[in-house]
Amino acid sequence: MKITNSDQDPFSIRADAHAILVQDEHQLTRSGEKANSFLKGNLKKELNSTKFQVRKRSTLVYYTGMDSPARIICVAIKKEDPYSNALREAAFTAVRTACSHGLTTLVLAFDPLKDAETQAVAEGALLASYQYLRYKTSQEKNPGLSTVTIVTRKLQPDALRIAEVNYRAASLVKDLVNEPPDSLTPSKFAKEAEKIGQQNNLKWRVFSPDELEKMGAFAFLSVGQGSKEQGRMVHLTYEPKKKSKLHVALVGKGITFDSGGLSLKPEKAMEHMKSDMAGAATALACVRAAAELQLSIKVTALLMTTENMPGGGANRPGDVVRSMNGKTIEITNTDAEGRLALADGLTYVQTLKPDYIIDIATLTGAQVVGLGRLIGGVMGNNEDFVQEVTKAAKESGETLWPLPLFEPYREMIKSDIADIRNASGIPEAGTIQAGLFLSEFVEHPRWVHLDIAGPAWQERDSGVYGKAASGFVVRCLLKLLSSLAKAQ
């Protein structure tokens, strides 16, 4: 789908449909009033006669009886703070509605004033076009729109460029997470990352199991002991042409399938565990996007990719493993494997001396219970950095909820026979317990942990996140990286 920007009168642009916004009490924006005037007041009459409800994703398609505009798609919107979030959802709804009517060209006459608003409209439109059809044998593909034109008061090419990069990053995450686990094994994931590194002039290296063993990454390697295929650690780095003062490291949990190991998950809980590598997919997408945007900061992505299976060599509850930083971990639950993988990843990434570390992980079921599927959890060792990440989430239309690394709860992860245990068995504050576990492996720079267990996979259609793989937190991280680059 091609997305363009125009500063012309929206109704001078020929298209199958023009979309306008309808606010409370059927108030119209500037372009909507223009459309109503053009239609001699009949548009508002239609809204009133049908008792159009202004609620999220409500639409009305008005047939004008003319060649152009042939249809007016009215999209409900509530003015939110920031307004760009509502515009993103409205654009998503308008494109989905146009596609359901078999249209090929659409004008979005939403009257965005700021670059951030135009970017949000473009993101919503692009996200609505996403389809994952690789394994469909029937011809189910919706041909979709060929062109979407966003009308603004002035041309904003940078806003469209950023929106397109953000969309490609989210689409990469969605594609990888949606991929079946027999097709995306740890080695295949590493090869895909290697290919992306080569295509985008990134520095990259894939650490083999033998190399990881020599490095002492026994916590990470223990996760894959029950699988036919051992894990890989993939290190990719984007460096700007001009040497940067700042270095940001993204560490992603990449469990390509999580059966729970010997602590086997129930059947229903295992159904979508191919999504347990969403954190690593997000890190990979963000380092590629940093290169595409040519950000002025150094960005590293570390993908801890492995598989958690209940084979004969699998971790057992009661085993003790030694991590890369020397700490010993008693394994009490083999389904708390992501934190084992991240422990060694966090230890290794500190040897690169980054200024900031962000780990991204589908880590705990407690996050899903506590915050659901539209809010991620965030915690860290530096309150200012936590607030900076939370602000970036809000500005990009995503939601992260700060949780405390509450020191008294550290008692829960103490072990009788090792330094710490990977799971306490205490059904309280599970997300915080996992964050405290990870904090044992972070010694110096500013660090934030993002638990996206719920938002990474959507059980039902959830607006701009769609259904299944969501691409959650990509926009937030790219906003954060851009802000850090500008502020240095």
If asked whether residues 202 and 112 sit together in one domain, one would say no
pLDDT-flagged residues of the chain (< 50): none
Give, in order, the Cα–Cα distances in Å from 92 to each of 96, 219, 289, 398.
Answer: 6, 43, 22, 15
User: Is 265 an active-site residue?
Assistant: yes
Distance CA 346, CA 447 (A): 10
If asked whether residues 146 and 217 sit together in one domain, one would say no
Distance CA 247, CA 473 (A): 20
Indicate which residue of 96, 253, 288, 339 is catalytic: 339
Type of residue numbered 343: A
163 found inside a domain: no
Contact 249, 302 (CB under 8 A): yes
If asked whether residues 148 and 182 sit together in one domain, one would say no
| Count of helices and strands (H, E) across the chain | 15, 19
Q: How many domains does the chain have?
A: 2
Predicted TM-score (pTM) above 0.85:
yes
Which of 155, 187, 203 is the C-terminal boundary of a domain? Answer: 155
If asked whether residues 40 and 143 sit together in one domain, one would say yes
pLDDT digits (tens, 9 = 90+) for 104-119: 999 999 999 999 999 9
Distance CA 267, CA 309 (A): 14
Domain around 94: 2-155
403 found inside a domain: yes
- Token digits of residue 202: 């990134």
Q: In the prediction, which pLDDT does 365 show?
A: 97
Indicate which residue of 191, 265, 322, 410 is catalytic: 265
319 found inside a domain: yes
Q: In the prediction, which pLDDT does 140 show?
A: 64
The CATH number linked to 150 is: 3.40.220.10
User: Is 268 an active-site residue?
Assistant: no
Q: In the prediction, which pLDDT does 141 show?
A: 65
Type of residue numbered 236: L
Distance CA 226, CA 314 (A): 4
If asked whether residues 299 and 365 sit together in one domain, one would say yes
Which of 105, 129, 155 is the C-terminal boundary of a domain? Answer: 155
If asked whether residues 178 and 115 sit together in one domain, one would say no
